[in-house]
Amino acid sequence: MTQVPEIALSPSAAARVAVIAQRTGKPAILRLAVEGGGCAGFSYRFGLADEVEAEDLATERDGVTLVVDEMTHDLVRGGEVDFVESLGGAAFQVRNPNAASGCGCGSSFSV
């Protein structure tokens, strides 16, 4: 695992991951992956990981670890994972400075 300061986990995202991890009995490790597809070209996928893999790039906040693979890191470098609650619902979101455009749902982007 390599520490990467170029991607951040917001305090609200860290708190939400901690709650989900405690509720499910899993480690507080959030995996962010970028996959081809979605209405704008790429889509974000979030999930709790059981462990940090040797090739993972990671950052930590408040006891919570955010992990990404190298390809994902290249696409989200300089960004932040946040957890946002609004009248429309609650969701993890990526503030990605590398995205040239995004879609209305906020879960896909293009570069």
Task: Please write the tens of the pLDDT for every residue from 20-56.
Answer: 999 999 999 999 998 876 555 778 899 999 999 999 9
Please check whether residue 42 lies inside any domain of the structure.
Answer: yes
Looking up residue 97, the CATH number of its domain turns out to be 2.60.300.12
Please check whether residue 111 lies inside any domain of the structure.
Answer: no
Task: Please write the tens of the pLDDT for every residue from 51-87.
Answer: 999 999 999 999 999 999 998 888 899 999 999 988 7
> What is the percentage of the chain residues whose pLDDT exceeds 90?
50
Task: Please write the tens of the pLDDT for every residue from 83-109.
Answer: 998 877 888 988 888 776 555 444 444
Please check whether residue 108 lies inside any domain of the structure.
Answer: no
Predicted pLDDT of residue 111 = 44
Residue with tokens 């480690």: 27
Predicted pLDDT of residue 69 = 92
List the domain range (segments joined by +) for residue 65: 2-101
Please check whether residue 7 lies inside any domain of the structure.
Answer: yes
DSSP string, 20-59: HHHHHT--SEEEEEEEE-STTSEEEEEEE-SS--TT-EEE
Does 18 have pLDDT greater than 90?
yes
Quote the number of domains for the chain: 1
Please check whether residue 6 lies inside any domain of the structure.
Answer: yes
Which residue type occupies 53?
E
